[in-house]
Amino acid sequence: MRSSFLLALGGSMLVGLAGVARADVPSAERDVRAKVAALETQLAEMKAAQNSAWLNERRAEEVKTLIRDVLSDADTRASLLETGASAGHNGEHFFLASDDGGFLLEIMGGIQMRYVAGFQDRGFEGDDPNTGDPVVSGIADANEFGLEFPRVKVRFAGHIADPRLGYAIELFIDGANNNVTSDEIIISYEVMDGVTAWIGEDKAPFLREELTLPYNSLAVDRSYMNEVFTMGVVQGVGLKIDGETVFDLPLKISAMINDGARSGDGGTAVNPLTQGVGFAGSSVDPDTGDEFNIGRSTSKLFNEDATDFAVSVRVDVKIAGEWGQMDDFSAWEGEDFAAFIGAAIHWEAGETGDSFNNNNFFTWTLDGSIETNGLGLYAAIVGQSTDNDGTVFDPVAFAPASASDHDLWGAVIQGGYMIPNCSLEPFVRYEYIDFDNALGSTIDEANIVTFGANYYLDGHNAKVTVDVVWALDPLPLSSSQLSILADDHDSNDQIVLRAQLQLLF
């Protein structure tokens, strides 16, 4: 009995232990499966990271291949000829050129924005110069303030098929009305080394100040004397000779047969001014104060010019330095010594059979400049003699009048100094004009002083210029280009403050 009980108890314990053992098997399996799942998750994450890195490398290779394809396509599309082309900026202007050098297009331009404050006493009270009667004009003090764009230009130049066959087209946007007109149209051919013939319209080879780019002027703009005596843009045929190449002499010669002063400006109804003075502008009737225009019409047609024949010749001589130093009137710090002298003539025969335009004149000029280590000096003198057989416009009588002969002359001297270790260049200019009563008014001479300074941001490419023009005498003619207005003959001095920002590209 006792043994049976012990046997049953032992059997029960064995069964229980077996049950416990069977119950522990699923738990262990779950632990193993959990660990396996965790490992599988880690493995999947590692594979994903590896795949991502592989995809990034693949994408990078695809992007590099795409960039190479785009650049190759751009090179193909930029090709102007079968041999390809080059483009870029050479430090002075943008260009497009064929690889063989046969074709070249240079693109350049400039913008000038100017603020002007003009102070003027244009009121007139006195005797009528014709009748002697007392006259009081209705003009009070005329002070003007405002912004303007005196120059906005774009120029295209280069050569076609052969570097000897050149061209140039310059477009000018009129700051008064935003109309676009041509300022230069040239076709040229280098007939031999150092000798170039050209046809079209360009500045007459006369005054050096006019021939120097307006962006390279010392003051905000050229002198009043230059505006009075310049021949401006003319139409004709010309010849340029490089004396160093042809004669082994340090000189340059420019000669031109043309249609007369300002014939390329689009202003030709009468000879320059009334009796040969090279100026286009306006004057003031001293009786009423009304302004009237003196100058030329807008036509450039062959049958509407004011001359039968005109010729201009200029010679420049290099005494020392490099020709490039003659391109402006500034002497940069550290610049070597340079000296130049020049002379020019212009003779013009008026329109035959036209009583109003049958006026002839001869004009001449001498000039010289010195540049050295920041100091630049320039001086010029101009003379003009008229031989008038026709009719002119008398601004005093405000009516046509018989022409008379006159001898006019003017002079200008200016200087600037580049302050060492600085981008500031103060300057001063004095000019004098003797009109010899050529305007038919009582204003017979002009004394003008201009002073100011340039601040160079990037040479002439980016600079700010501020100056003051002080006309000590009444000025008989306006110049919109110079921001100067006409006075009547009894006015006091005129003062003009000009501030200008210039950008070239």
Angle at 480 between CA 430 and CA 468, to 5 degrees: 35
Residue 220 has pLDDT above 70, yes or no: yes
Q: Do residues 338 and 321 touch, judged by C-beta distance below 8 A?
A: yes
What is the second-level CATH architecture of the domain 87-504?
A: Beta Barrel (2.40)
Q: Do residues 449 and 430 touch, judged by C-beta distance below 8 A?
A: yes
Q: What's the pLDDT tens digit per position in 2-13?
A: 444 444 444 444
With a CB cutoff of 8 Å and minimum separation 6, the contacts of 145 are 116, 117, 118
Mean pLDDT for the stretch of residues 218-224: 97
284 or 181, which is more confident: 181
Q: What's the pLDDT tens digit per position in 381-410?
A: 999 998 876 555 555 555 556 667 888 999
What local confidence, expressed as pLDDT, does residue 342 receive?
Answer: 98
| % of the chain residues with pLDDT over 90 | 50
Mean pLDDT is highest, among 98-107, 240-249, 255-264, for 240-249
What local confidence, expressed as pLDDT, does residue 394 receive?
Answer: 58
The overall average pLDDT reported for the chain is 80
Q: Which amino acid is at 18?
A: A
Give the whole-angstrom CA distance, residue 73 versus residue 13.
89
Domain locations in the chain as residue ranges: 1-78, 87-504
Joined tokens for residue 56: 């990034």
Q: What's the pLDDT tens digit per position in 120-133?
A: 876 555 566 566 66
Residues comprising the chain, all counted = 505
Residue 205: DSSP 8-state? S
